[in-house]
Structure 1
Amino acid sequence: MSWNDRVVWSEGQFLLPQMFQQQERYLEHVMHYRSLPLTPFFWGFSHYNIDGEALNIGKLILKEASGIFPDGTPFNAPDHTPLPPPRTILPEHLNQQICLAVPVRAPNSEETTFDNNPESLARFSVHEHDIRDANSLGRGAQLLQLSHLRLRLLPEKAVTGAWIGLPLTRITGLNPDGRIDIDHDLIPPIINYQASSLMCTWLSWINDLIR
């Protein structure tokens, strides 16, 4: 069976959760491959913001991030997706890139965790929210289980085949007082030049030369 084949809906079927899950995979697969020809370089950060103060206490904290993973998965944290947990930088992380990562979606693997187990490789975690019927607002809200991406900050050596990631920064120094140095000359993959202050500086310089 193909993981992305469409469901055959027919009279008299007994509806199962797997049928809706399969239909969802099929539609996402079609949308992804239908949009690929629009741009060959569709993945990267459109915006990100690293907490500079947290670097002084040995932690890498992402304050904001939006963009698209190489598999076509969009993210926008913290607006639509929770931010990844802070990453404590250890000596073994020196000279490594730190990546924003999410578990890979794979056949016959757990896709959603209900207890948000940090050891789980589930791609999504569950949260509950009261949702109103958009066509019958007077009937009140119903509690629904929804899911969001489980973003993580991982050193590049931990981004195995079970993960897909975007390089965010590189650790260049660990100081005796616990302060972290990062590579400010590193430009992560971006889909909006304004996501990189260095890229903005270069383009401004080129623009001045042209004038």
Structure 2
Amino acid sequence: MSIETARVIWSEGLFLRPHHFQQQERYLESLLDARVQPLQAASYGFTRFVVDQALLLQGKLALQSASGLMPDGTPFDVPSPQVLLNPLDVPEGTRDALVYLTVGVRRTGAKVVALEPSERRTRYVGLDTQVHDHVLGFDGEADLKVGGLVMGLSLAEHLDGSLSAMPVARIVERRADSGVVLDSRFIPPMLHVNAHQRLRTWVDELHGLVRQRAEALSARIATPGTKGVADFADFLLLMACNRYEPLLHHWRMGPQVHPLKVYAELLKLAGECATFAQESRRPPSFEPYAHERLADTFEPVIEEIRRAMAAVLEQNAVQIALRDLGKGLFGADIPDPHLIRQGYFVLAAAAQAPKEQLRGTLPTQVKIGPPEKIRDLVMTMVPGVRIEPIEAPRQIPYHANYTYFQLDPRSEFWSPIELSRRLALYVAGDLPGLDLQMWAIRQ
């Protein structure tokens, strides 16, 4: 803090001059800035922002409605009688140019106020107004001169060190018919995500994507006959979706959330999504937050989350329903041809017999083949598709009383099963309490 912003020492017998009050104002303003600015990074931007579309057709750029904080901490609200802001006449031939909202900075020894409204070279100009006495029992009005904040709209090439500036828009071009075309992708610095349509649309879109994926995962996990089968990745992704869906809904419904906070949370979501969507299981490298380049900051993260939410997560294990046709005969339809070509099949069996006995006898009692060949297999000594005992696969539910067998696809009878996507299974003999399940496991 400089001596120009030091506090006034008030003492008895002081000969008051305007300088004392001006110094007190400088002290209080600097004290407020020193206390507030460290509390939030990127603590400037718009809280309301609307461009006058009609004036764009006339070659002018104006703010129809806007409020917020300038980079030096100056609050503003337009339209307002306390703020003087004229439209910018966009010069002919202007292309790819940034437009800034400006206000004069406080400089040591510089004049801050001009008493005449026509003088706009200072930070404030004098405005005449009448104010009421707010004390009960006292009436009347007094004429006062108050300060009107002088703001401006300027192209980047006209900026200098005397101005505090904040980007407002990017001009694509001024057309031959004088119409001004703005870059719809550009987002000025914002203090709230809901203050800009594009940021608000992104939050709405992500909420919808996360909600849709959560519902799909929940339905798949809860599908009858597959309880406990869903891949562990399904549970992890559902957990991430369930964590971020309420947060995204919270942002949508109106709290004043800074874009920096939203960006930090979306980085977490994108990082979690990379676990499931990226081959490397690692997130890509994202740029640091840039308050004056919000579109460049948010777009890569938004796109990564979109891609992850749109990715198809396949179940590693699918139960194949066995239809009991009676007399030891079962039939099954295989819904997905990829299961046959890119996976292996497991038969789970339980019976009122020791597991070791089942491991040894069931392969000799079971005949598996295409439905049109099963009768011939039963009537002859041909084994059909063989089954071999294996340990319980981790992809399917484990039950202590079940024994697991893998179907051997090297059999000559496997090709007809692959073509028709149908198989038949016959169990010879009597196994009390026999229960069979069949699973297809992707590799």
**Normalising by the residue count of structure 1, what TM-score does the alignment of the two structures yield?**
0.93
The aligned length equals: 210
Partner of residue 59, structure 2: 58
Partner of residue 36, structure 2: 35
Contact persistence 1:63–1:83 (CA under 8 A): no
Cα distance in 2 for residues equivalent to 1:16 and 1:47: 39
Cα distance in 1 for residues equivalent to 2:93 and 2:109: 33
Contact persistence 1:44–1:191 (CA under 8 A): yes
Q: Higher mean Cα deviation, 101-110 or 87-96?
A: 87-96
Contact persistence 1:82–1:150 (CA under 8 A): yes
Verify: 1:84 aligned to 2:96, yes or no: no
Partner of residue 147, structure 2: 147
Contact persistence 1:110–1:121 (CA under 8 A): no
Cα distance in 2 for residues equivalent to 1:80 and 1:42: 25
Matches within 5 A, 1:53-202: 53-79=54-80, 81-91=82-92, 93-117=94-118, 120-136=120-136, 138-202=138-202
Residues 67-120 of structure 1 show CA distances to partners (whole Å, capped at 9, x for unaligned) of 0011111111124633511111113542111111101111111101122345x4
Q: Which has the higher helix share?
A: 2
Cα distance in 2 for residues equivalent to 1:46 and 1:201: 16
Residues 131-183 of structure 1 show CA distances to partners (whole Å, capped at 9, x for unaligned) of 12211553301101111211101111112101011100011012111111011
Contact persistence 1:3–1:107 (CA under 8 A): yes
Amino acid at match of 2:82: T
Cα distance in 2 for residues equivalent to 1:197 and 1:83: 26
Q: Higher mean Cα deviation, 154-163 or 89-98?
A: 89-98
SS in 2 for 1:142: strand
Q: Which has the higher strand share?
A: 1
Q: Higher mean Cα deviation, 20-29 or 193-202?
A: 193-202
- Once the two structures are TM-superposed, the CA of residue 9 in structure 1 deviates from its matched residue by 1.0
Contact persistence 2:87–2:153 (CA under 8 A): yes
Q: Higher mean Cα deviation, 7-16 or 91-100?
A: 91-100
Cα distance in 2 for residues equivalent to 1:45 and 1:132: 32
Contact persistence 1:62–1:83 (CA under 8 A): no
SS in 2 for 1:23: helix
- Once the two structures are TM-superposed, the CA of residue 187 in structure 1 deviates from its matched residue by 0.7
Cα distance in 2 for residues equivalent to 1:93 and 1:145: 39
- Once the two structures are TM-superposed, the CA of residue 123 in structure 1 deviates from its matched residue by 0.3
Contact persistence 1:93–1:155 (CA under 8 A): no
Q: Higher mean Cα deviation, 134-143 or 52-61?
A: 134-143
Cα distance in 2 for residues equivalent to 1:39 and 1:162: 25
Amino acid at match of 1:105: R
Change in Cα spacing, 1:110 to 1:92, as seen in structure 2 (3 Å) is farther
Partner of residue 208, structure 2: 208
Contact persistence 2:84–2:149 (CA under 8 A): no
Partner of residue 18, structure 1: 19
**Normalising by the residue count of structure 2, what TM-score does the alignment of the two structures yield?**
0.46
Change in Cα spacing, 1:130 to 1:197, as seen in structure 2 (3 Å) is same
Higher relative contact order (CA 8 A, sep 6+): 1
List alignment gaps of at least 5 residues for structure 1: none
SS in 2 for 1:6: coil
Cα distance in 1 for residues equivalent to 2:51 and 2:118: 25
- Once the two structures are TM-superposed, the CA of residue 202 in structure 1 deviates from its matched residue by 1.2
